[in-house]
Structure 1
């Protein structure tokens, strides 16, 4: 917890300001990614991947909520009760939207759906295929990095408030829930805001996923792969942050 001006200053320096630099770089990368999508539409004369703009926007929502949490945590130290109520509300919204960032990994299936090779031509020699592939590889990488930046910041708040062990338990639980959320978003097709609009239906569908042995044969391997990718990526970046120090 923050106990004085020195702690508040260190929080601003170590938690808010470094993230701003990374956010700006990822924003520039996002503009480049969406520009490539626009170029691909012109190149193919097909209205491809317009939904990618929305998917990328949703991937950015958790980062915006994270920055808001940092601001509340750092600057609202006088009224602690009100600060923790705000943090709880923003944190719940962040939890529901967090899977949207790494969800972009699953969008990598689209090149294999929408790319139309010429008859008799090897697709690996067609430049258009690489436009499709690089576009969604870039989107997946941006989404993964956005998820890491967002979790790293919230993990830091939890760790400084409740301790190292609690912080890592929090990070692991979030990554597991996010992996399940990505599965639900990709295959069950629920959205983050449906948690408020149709909570009972989401609960029923999730309960069915986790109790039906047939569906579990698909749920567990998929969520396991997503969890492994996101956990390893997060740990690597986390270790890099200590190397920098």
Structure 2
């Protein structure tokens, strides 16, 4: 059944798709005409951000979430969403590439870049925000369904668990260079996960979970204010 949020969901999807295509075309054009492949990895990251977003859109449209008495498709779609979801938040760590992939220099402690450098800077920032926003909206849609089915306590518990798991996935992705596909090699994955059981990992996951939850709570309340307007 359609509702106001679903209509907004579709509208935002159109905007996100438009901006994703424009960003990808600009990045690809720089590679084709200027042999600049420094930002080509962002196209793949945009694609990875779309995967859980589309899954959540399908789930929201059909009201398919884990429910008693429903088919196994509910479980499969939710697990697929959870499997790919950390990619939408991992993209925020791509900000680390500003130093190595954007050309700049210092002149009397002032950062100086030409127009090409500023373009790459804004492309990088814009794609990071694009993927991150897709992640936040996707999680909001999932929580919205859970809240209507099981209540706010369950839905917020789900959000907290997703943020913890995503923060850990960001850690092993950034420091161990593992990705979603490594789950197909469980022995390698298990051996690498064992190596992360130390205080540095716990502090990283704790920090990222806290910051991601803060951003999400702000987003959630902005939506609530808009509803009440």
1:5 aligns to what? none
* Separation (CA, whole Å) in 1 of partners of 2:44 and 2:110: 28
CA 118–45 in structure 1, closer or farther in 2 if over 3 Å, else same: farther
* Separation (CA, whole Å) in 2 of partners of 1:130 and 1:238: 32
Structure 1 segment 140-179 matched on structure 2, within 5 A? 140-179=128-167
CA 164–223 in structure 1, closer or farther in 2 if over 3 Å, else same: same
* Separation (CA, whole Å) in 2 of partners of 1:119 and 1:39: 28
Report the Cα offset of residue 119 of structure 1: 9.3
* Separation (CA, whole Å) in 2 of partners of 1:43 and 1:109: 26
- In the alignment, does 2:223 pair up with 1:241? yes
- As a proportion of its length, which structure holds more helix? 1
Report the Cα offset of residue 14 of structure 1: 4.1
SS of equivalent to 1:26: helix
1:88 aligns to what? 75
Structure 1 segment 39-54 matched on structure 2, within 5 A? 40-41=30-31, 45-54=35-44
- In the alignment, does 2:13 pair up with 1:26? no
Moved more, 106-115 or 201-210: 201-210
* Separation (CA, whole Å) in 2 of partners of 1:187 and 1:90: 28
The two structures have a TM-score, normalised by structure 2, of 0.86
Equivalent residue pairs, number: 224
Per-residue CA deviation, residues 130-154 of structure 1 (Å, 9 max, x unaligned), is 2222111111111110111110011
1:194 aligns to what? 182
Structure 1 segment 1-245 matched on structure 2, within 5 A? 9=1, 12-38=2-28, 40-41=30-31, 45-73=35-63, 80-82=69-71, 85-117=72-104, 124-127=111-114, 128-195=116-183, 197-210=184-197, 213=198, 216-217=199-200, 219-245=201-227
| Contact in 2 for aligned 1:108/1:133 (Cα 8 Å) | no
Report the Cα offset of residue 187 of structure 1: 1.8
CA 16–207 in structure 1, closer or farther in 2 if over 3 Å, else same: farther
* Separation (CA, whole Å) in 2 of partners of 1:72 and 1:157: 10
* Separation (CA, whole Å) in 2 of partners of 1:140 and 1:47: 17
SS of equivalent to 2:63: helix
SS of equivalent to 2:3: helix
The two structures have a TM-score, normalised by structure 1, of 0.81
SS of equivalent to 2:70: helix
CA 129–35 in structure 1, closer or farther in 2 if over 3 Å, else same: same
1:3 aligns to what? none
SS of equivalent to 2:180: coil
